[in-house]
Amino acid sequence: MAKKIQKIKNLRSPRGMHDILPQEQDWWDKVRKEVDNVANYYNFSRIDTPLLEYSDVFEKSLGETSDIVEKQMFVLRSGSGDRLVLRPEGTAAIVRAYIQHGLSHLGQPLKLFYLGPMFRKERPQAGRFRQFHQAGFEIIGGQDDPIYDAQIILATFKLLERLKIRNLSLHINSIGCRVCRPNYRKKLTEYYKPLSAKLCKDCRRRVKQNPLRLLDCKEESCQPYKAEAPIILDSLCVNCNRHLKHVLEFLEELGLSYKLDNYLVRGLDYYNKTVFEFFTESADQGGKAFDFAIASGGRYDYLMDMFGARQSAAVGSAVGLERVIEVMKGTDVGLGLRKKPKAFFIHIGDLAKKRSLTLIEELRSAGVAVLESLGKDSLAAQLRLANKTGSDYALIFGQKEAFEDSIIIRDLKNSVQETVPLKKLVNEVKKRLR
C-alpha cells in the first residue's frame, strides 16, 4: 500500500516574510526602474553583496549594544562551524567588499548603489518585515567634504520624488565625532541616570550601554524625559559644527527644505557627524495622521577603521522599499504606467495548434506582445482567458484558416473581426496595437 502523503503543517510563508505576487510586480518594477534611473543620472555604479556574511562584519561595525546585533540578526552555522548571518543592512557588507577587493584603487570617491533583501528578527508590523528590501546610495573614499552629504541627500530625495511620494519632510542632525561625542554621552548619562527607574526596560539598559539610543526611544512613557534631555548641538566641536553648517548651506542652495532635529540619532556605532531621515505623512487604522520614516542615512567615516583598514570618509543612505510601496499605494498617484496593448493567440484543432508556435514566435520577434494558452483546446475557454488577461485582440487560427493561410483578428471590445492573410499578420496586428 502506498504511503499516505502527509499535508505540510505550515503551508505559509514564515512570520514577518512575504511573497511578492504577480499583481504586485508592477509596483516593484516601477521602484527598481526609478532606482536605476537615479543611480545612472548621478553616476552611481551597482554593487551586489551576498545574502550571507560572516557575523563579524556586522558585530564589529554595528556595535554589540545595537538592537540589530543584540536581538535582530538571523545567525546560522556553516558545516565547518563558521558563524554566518543573513545580512541585516547593506552598508557594512559593501564596505567589506570595498576593502576585500581593493576598490580604493579606483577613482575616489567611489559612488555605489545597491538594491536587495535584508533580514532582521523584528516584531512584524505595518511597513516592517523580517525580510525586507532596501535600495541605497553610498559615496566612499575621498575627503569628508560636506558636499557629499548633500549629494547623498539629493539622490535620495530625487528617488522619492520620482516615485511621487508626497509631503516629504527631511530631518537632519549631527551626532558629532570621536572628539566631541564622548563629552555629550557623559552629559546624557548624567541627565538620565537619576531618571532610570522611570524609564522603559530598554532605556534602563541604554543608560549604561548606549546612551545615544535613549533619544531614539519611541515609548510614550519616555517622551517627556527625552524632551528635556541635553542636545548635542551644544557639545559639537568646531570641526563638526562647521561640517553641519556647510551641509545645511548646500541643502539651502539646492532648495531642499529641512528640519533641524536635535533628537535624531542612528542606532549603529559606525555613524558620525551628519545623520538624516526622510518622513512622509501616513495614517493609522483610525485615520490619525503620523510621520512615517521611509529613508535614512548619514556619514560613517570610522567604518573602515573598525574593519582594520585605513580610515576613509564615507556617507550613504537607505530607502525602505516596502514602506515606499505602501505609501505609493495609499495615494491616488498610481503607477503612471501606460497599459501596453496585447493580443491573445487562439488555436482550434490539431493542425492549427501545430503551426501556432511558429506564428507566435514570428509575432514576438517583431515586438508584438502575444499571450496564449496552447494547452487549452476549447475556443470558449481560450476566449474567456483572453478577456481575463485584458487582451485587446484575439488572433483566431482554426483548421480552415490553417488550410487557407489566413487568420481572424477579432477586436475584443466590440467583437468586430476581419480575416487577413498570414503574410500580412505582423503588419496588421502592429497597426492595431499602436
Task: Report the alpha-carbon distance of residue 43 to residue 45 in Å, rounded.
Answer: 6
Position 300 scores a pLDDT of 94
Backbone angles phi, psi at 204, to 5 degrees: -60, -35
What is the residue type of 41? Y
Taking Cα atoms as reference points, which of 7, 31, 11 lies closest to residue 322? 31
Taking Cα atoms as reference points, which of 86, 140, 141 lies closest to residue 116? 86
Backbone region of residue 172 per phi and psi (left: phi > 0; alpha: psi in -120 to 50; beta: other values): beta
Domain boundaries, the chain: 22-180+236-329, 343-432
pLDDT digits (tens, 9 = 90+) for 246-282: 999 999 999 999 999 998 987 667 789 999 999 997 6
At CA 123, angle to CA 117 and CA 124, rounded to 5? Answer: 60
Position 76 scores a pLDDT of 87
Task: Report the alpha-carbon distance of residue 342 to residue 325 in Å, rounded.
Answer: 26
Task: Report the alpha-carbon distance of residue 344 to residue 371 in Å, rounded.
Answer: 5
CB 49 within 8 A of CB 94: yes
Torsion of CA 155, 159, 161, 166, to 10 degrees: -110
Grid cell 519611541 in the structure block, residue: 218
Tell the burial category of 203 from Cβ atoms under 10 Å away from its Cβ (0-12, 13-18, 19+): buried
**Distance between alpha carbon 384 and the CA centroid of its chain, in Å?**
37
Per-residue pLDDT tens listing for the chain (434 residues): 455 566 777 788 888 888 999 889 999 999 999 999 999 999 999 999 999 999 888 887 776 656 667 677 888 888 888 889 999 999 999 999 999 999 999 888 999 999 999 999 877 666 678 899 999 999 999 788 999 999 999 999 999 999 999 889 999 999 999 999 999 999 999 999 988 888 898 888 888 888 888 888 888 889 998 889 999 999 999 999 999 999 999 999 999 999 999 989 876 677 899 999 999 976 554 555 567 899 999 999 999 988 888 889 999 999 999 999 988 887 766 665 556 678 999 999 999 999 999 999 999 999 898 999 998 889 999 999 999 888 999 999 999 999 999 999 999 999 999 999 999 999 999 998 87
Topology of the domain comprising 22-180+236-329: BirA Bifunctional Protein; domain 2 (3.30.930)
* CATH class of the domain at 343-432: alpha beta
What is the residue type of 217? C
CB 27 within 8 A of CB 34: no
Position 127 scores a pLDDT of 62
Taking Cα atoms as reference points, which of 75, 79, 81, 80 lies closest to residue 53? 75
Q: Dmax of the chain from CA atoms?
A: 93
